[in-house]
């Protein structure tokens, strides 16, 4: 399925969801990078591990 034409009104909630995700991703204390990132997080924050 393809969209040949942009809808007249874009869904504002989709835009809000993207903005919220971007905010949380950019302010996260967990470094990106998969397993290596989690390892660094655990080493830097041992008190946060149960």
Residues 10-42 have pLDDT tens digits of 777 788 888 888 888 777 666 555 556 777 888
What does the pLDDT read at residue 1?
Answer: 59
Res. 9: pLDDT tops 60:
yes
**Entry pTM:** 0.38
**5 vs 30, residue with greater confidence:** 5
- Cα–Cα distance measured from residue 44 to residue 16, given in angstroms and rounded to the nearest whole number: 32
CA distances from 28 to 2, 7, 13, 38, 39 (A): 35, 33, 22, 12, 15
Going by the DSSP 8-state scheme, the letter that residue 48 receives in this structure is G
* pLDDT (0 to 100) of residue 40: 80
The confidence score (pLDDT) of residue 47 equals 92
**Residues 6 or more apart from 49 whose CB is under 8 A from it?**
42
């Amino acid at each position: 399925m393809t969209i040949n034409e942009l809808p007249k009104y874009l869904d504002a909630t989709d835009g809000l969801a993207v903005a919220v995700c971007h905010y949380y991703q950019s302010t996260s204390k967990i470094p990106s990078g998969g397993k290596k990132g989690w390892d660094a997080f655990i080493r830097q924050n041992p008190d946060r591990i149960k």
